[in-house]
């Protein structure tokens, strides 16, 4: 285990004014608190907090963060309380330790909804002090480095959690070296065969060509010397997971990947960075489309660097990053640079992003989410993606995730601009709204005050902010109409059983269905999230038949049954008066009445003893019978209303409605209708087919029947 004096000396190398005595006291306190506890590997447990503290010295963090690392498991795993930590080390450290404890207790790898809700809590814990997350990332890094002592299933669970949450979060915070190592450690757990294969290929490549890294470094130094640029040059082979990801993205084998080497040029100043870029491009041929200037257009986490890929020695592609020393500190430590020490004092790095501004920007993007699932979607869509940078006509920069469209651009500026968007110009040319934007493009949004979001817009956008705004607008716009339609569905559903859809009945149903209000119940009825049968079941479950619908089929409708013999209308074909029918005897249920053309009758062809000749009585046209139709209709305003009105004009009722497919241009909807007979249904079908916005209407039947 690392000795306390080694830790103290490490801190004093970058912060000579460190409170060494307080660090020693925290070390002794933590060691005593964890006395008798051991890790799964058999090591003393306190060796873990010490290693976490040492990891944080690599980014030169302040005393409070180092002490928090030493104590980060005391409140969770020992008898130490928050108050004891606060009394001995102060409120600041106690709050940090408590924040890390809260993060540790979140089971981020559980089911999606819980994962989303816990991630929201994670951001809340971070909002008080981002150093909480810095300690947690170092804690997770050390745990992943020593994960082999855990059972394999627990290894996989932790690796999935790390890959999905902590590694991308480290990248979003600019701590790329932590992200890279976490991803590679997870890769070794989740796909060891693939990682080992890549490592073997690296060894083969070295055997064939030798170690190219020092050779290419010398080539770069010579090119810089000719231009009079003093710089530090480093290089490495890319990590196996990075290689694997490129292979998956490009669908290429290892032997076809050329940019497996990465090099950095750290210059004295920004001017030298651009001179170095010129020297590199003069010496080697630049690869088109592989140049990015994050110095003139920094990432939101403060990252600044020039990226270029060139065709280097032996035509090997080489990725080169060029930046200044202060830029390199931010590139390595991200928002941690805000607390870093240099030359014995807190570093005044002009490129370090204020972590509190960064966190506010992050949470603002997600606050519009109305439920945990939306929230998690926003996280995955926005937080963990590479960015593109586009310009407004005034030259202002808008940061968007890769794959964003002009619609995303419009909503990124303001919801009002997105809602009224009717078109876009990219670099002065009119383009479709689903066009994918690229770095450096100028985007102009064309607006119309009367425009409102359309359902098809949601498929055009990728940002959570845009998706949430579109959904919210559509809900508000359609809510009044949904409530009206829901009230009609409620009226019909309750009238079928001789009841009325009074406000009191609807209030009772809303309470029974755990909904906040009568209006919410009606809105969900109107959107078919709740069906008419759900409403009846909530109020009068005893009046609902076994097959899930209201039983309105009196026995006297069918002729040919034995005295006392019961019958059931088959739900698979829903035969109507006027159609030829046949009965199938069903043990324990009586006779199942089918239409003569029902597909399920094929199952009984070899059982003639079960067939019964039946027919409908005449003069029963006033009775109501259930049938289901499937309608494909245009997704335009007013079409659904016209359908409902037309059905009502033909003296038929809609008892239930379900949207089975929603596309930008057409909807597919199933409607349960109450009609008198087959002639009545045919008249309704004919009238609906005459509407130009209805593509088709047909009976909806299944081939499932009771045995």
CA distances from 185 to 149, 192, 240, 531, 634 (A): 14, 10, 10, 49, 51
Catalytic residues: 76-77
Q: Where residue 686 falls among pLDDT bands split at 50, 70, 90? A: confident
Output the average pLDDT for the chain: 80
- pLDDT at position 115: 52
Q: Average pLDDT in the 526-543 region?
A: 77
Residue 618 DSSP SS3? coil
CA distance 424 to 439: 16
The secondary structure of residue 239, as a DSSP letter, is P
Q: Which fold has domain 199-346?
A: Beta Polymerase; domain 2 (3.30.460)
Location of structure tokens 């037309």: 646
Number of other residues whose CB lies within 10 A of the CB of residue 250: 10
CA distance 115 to 120: 9
- pLDDT at position 556: 40
- pLDDT (tens digit per residue) in 257-282: 556 778 999 999 999 999 999 999 99
- pLDDT at position 444: 93
Q: Is the pLDDT of residue 24 over 50?
A: yes
- pLDDT at position 329: 81
Q: Average pLDDT in the 223-227 region?
A: 91
CA distance 298 to 315: 30
Q: What percent of the chain has pLDDT over 90?
A: 20
CA distance 125 to 118: 10
Give this prediction's pTM.
0.54
CB neighbours of 14 closer than 8 A, spacing ≥ 6?
57, 60, 340, 341, 342, 344
Q: Where residue 23 falls among pLDDT bands split at 50, 70, 90? A: very high
- pLDDT at position 289: 75
CA distance 9 to 234: 27
Q: Where residue 547 falls among pLDDT bands split at 50, 70, 90? A: very low
Residue 623 DSSP SS3? coil
CA distance 318 to 287: 10
CA distances from 544 to 406, 488, 514, 705 (A): 51, 20, 20, 19
- Under CATH, domain 554-707 is a member of which superfamily? ACT domain (3.30.70.260)
CA distance 550 to 384: 50
**578: exposed, middle or buried (C-beta count within 10 Å: 0-12, 13-18, 19+)?**
middle
Q: Is the pLDDT of residue 360 over 70?
A: no
- pLDDT at position 553: 41
Q: Where residue 679 falls among pLDDT bands split at 50, 70, 90? A: confident
- pLDDT (tens digit per residue) in 57-112: 988 888 999 999 999 888 877 878 889 999 999 998 988 888 888 766 655 444 44
Q: What CATH class does 4-190 carry?
A: mainly alpha
Domain locations along the chain: 4-190, 199-346, 472-543, 554-707
Q: Is the pLDDT of residue 486 over 60?
A: yes
- pLDDT (tens digit per residue) in 378-424: 555 444 455 677 888 887 778 787 788 999 999 989 989 999 999 99
- pLDDT at position 548: 44
The most confident of the ranges 20-29, 132-141, 359-368 is: 20-29
CB neighbours of 520 closer than 8 A, spacing ≥ 6?
510
Number of other residues whose CB lies within 10 A of the CB of residue 701: 19
- pLDDT (tens digit per residue) in 147-166: 998 899 889 888 988 887 78
CA distance 59 to 557: 84
- pLDDT (tens digit per residue) in 633-653: 888 888 888 888 888 878 888
Q: Where residue 113 falls among pLDDT bands split at 50, 70, 90? A: very low
End-to-end CA distance of the chain: 71
Angle in degrees, CA 201, 207, 208, rounded to 5: 90
- pLDDT (tens digit per residue) in 311-322: 866 667 788 999
Q: Average pLDDT in the 156-184 region?
A: 83
- pLDDT (tens digit per residue) in 583-597: 998 877 788 999 988
**E strands present in 349-415:** 387-391, 397-401
CA distance 441 to 390: 5
- pLDDT at position 609: 84
Q: Average pLDDT in the 361-381 region?
A: 52
Q: Where residue 353 falls among pLDDT bands split at 50, 70, 90? A: low
Burial letters 462-492, b for 16+ CB under 10 A, else e: bbbbbbbbbbebbeeebbebbbebbbbbbeb
24 versus 456: the higher-pLDDT residue is 24
Q: Is the pLDDT of residue 375 over 70?
A: no
């Amino acid at each position: 285990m690392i000795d306390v004096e080694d830790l103290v000396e490490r801190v004093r190398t970058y912060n000579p004014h460190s409170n060494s005595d307080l660090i020693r006291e925290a070390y002794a306190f933590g060691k005593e608190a964890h006395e008798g506890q051991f890790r799964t590997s058999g090591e003393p447990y306190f060796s873990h907090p010490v290693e976490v503290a040492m990891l944080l010295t690599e980014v030169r963090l302040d005393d409070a963060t180092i002490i928090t690392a030493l104590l980060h498991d005391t409140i969770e795993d020992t008898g130490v309380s928050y108050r004891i930590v606060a009394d001995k080390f102060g409120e600041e450290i106690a709050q940090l330790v408590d924040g890390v404890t809260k993060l540790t207790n979140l089971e981020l790898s559980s089911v999606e909804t819980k994962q989303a809700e816990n991630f929201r809590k994670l951001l809340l814990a971070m909002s008080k002090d981002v150093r909480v997350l810095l300690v947690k990332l170092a804690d997770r890094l050390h745990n992943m480095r020593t994960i082999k002592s855990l059972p394999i299933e627990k290894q996989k669970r932790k690796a999935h959690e790390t890959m999905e949450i902590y590694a991308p979060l480290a990248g979003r915070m600019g701590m790329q070296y932590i992200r890279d190592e976490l991803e590679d450690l997870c890769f070794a757990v989740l796909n060891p065969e693939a990682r080992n294969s890549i490592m073997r290929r690296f060894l083969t490549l070295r055997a064939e060509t030798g170690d190219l890294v020092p050779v290419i470094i010398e080539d770069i130094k010579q090119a810089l010397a000719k231009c009079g640029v003093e710089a530090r040059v480093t290089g490495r082979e890319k990590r196996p997971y990075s290689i694997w990801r490129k292979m998956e993205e490009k669908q290429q084998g290892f032997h076809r990947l050329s940019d497996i080497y990465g090099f950095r040029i750290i210059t004295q100043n920004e001017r030298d960075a651009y001179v170095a870029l010129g020297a590199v491009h003069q010496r080697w041929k630049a690869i088109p489309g592989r140049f990015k200037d994050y110095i003139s257009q920094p990432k939101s986490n403060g990252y600044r660097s020039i990226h270029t890929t060139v065709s280097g020695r032996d035509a090997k592609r080489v990725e080169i990053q060029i930046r200044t020393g202060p830029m390199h500190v931010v590139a390595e430590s991200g928002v941690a640079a805000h607390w870093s020490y240099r030359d014995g004092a807190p570093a005044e790095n002009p490129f370090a992003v204020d972590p509190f501004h960064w966190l506010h920007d992050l949470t603002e993007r997600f606050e519009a989410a109305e439920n945990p699932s939306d929230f998690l979607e926003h996280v995955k869509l926005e937080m963990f993606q590479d960015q593109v940078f586009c310009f407004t006509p005034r030259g202002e920069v808008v940061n968007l995730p890769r794959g964003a469209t002009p619609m995303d651009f419009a909503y990124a500026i303001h919801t009002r601009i997105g809602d009224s968007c009717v078109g876009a110009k990219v670099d002065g040319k009119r383009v479709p709204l689903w066009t994918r934007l690229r770095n450096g493009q100028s985007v102009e949004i064309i607006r119309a005050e009367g425009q409102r979001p359309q359902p098809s817009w949601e498929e055009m956008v990728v940002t959570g902010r845009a998706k949430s705004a579109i959904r919210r607008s559509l809900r508000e716009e359609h809510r009044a109409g949904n409530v009206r339609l829901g009230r009609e569905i409620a009226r019909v559903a309750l009238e079928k059983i001789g009841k009325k859809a009074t406000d009191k009945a609807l209030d009772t149903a809303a309470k029974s269905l755990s909904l906040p209000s009568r209006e919410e119940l009606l809105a969900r009825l109107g959107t078919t999230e709740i069906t008419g049968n759900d409403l009846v079941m909530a109020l009068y479950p005893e009046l609902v038949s076994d097959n899930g619908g209201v039983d309105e089929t009196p026995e006297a409708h069918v002729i040919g049954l034995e005295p006392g013999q019961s019958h059931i209308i088959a739900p698979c074909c829903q035969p109507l008066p006027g159609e030829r029918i046949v009965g199938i005897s069903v043990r324990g249920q009586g006779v199942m009445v089918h239409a003569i053309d029902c597909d399920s009758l094929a199952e009984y062809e070899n059982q003639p003893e079960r067939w019964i000749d039946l027919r409908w009585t005449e003069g029963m046209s006033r009775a109501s019978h259930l049938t289901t139709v499937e309608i494909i209709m245009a997704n335009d305003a007013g079409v659904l209303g016209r359908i409902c009105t037309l059905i009502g004009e033909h003296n038929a009722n809609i008892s239930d409605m379900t949207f089975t497919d929603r596309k930008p241009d057409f909807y597919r909807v199933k409607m349960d209708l109450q009609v008198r007979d087959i002639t009545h249904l045919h008249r309704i079908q004919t009238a609906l087919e005459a509407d130009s916005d209805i593509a088709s209407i047909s009976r909806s039947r299944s081939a499932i029947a009771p045995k």
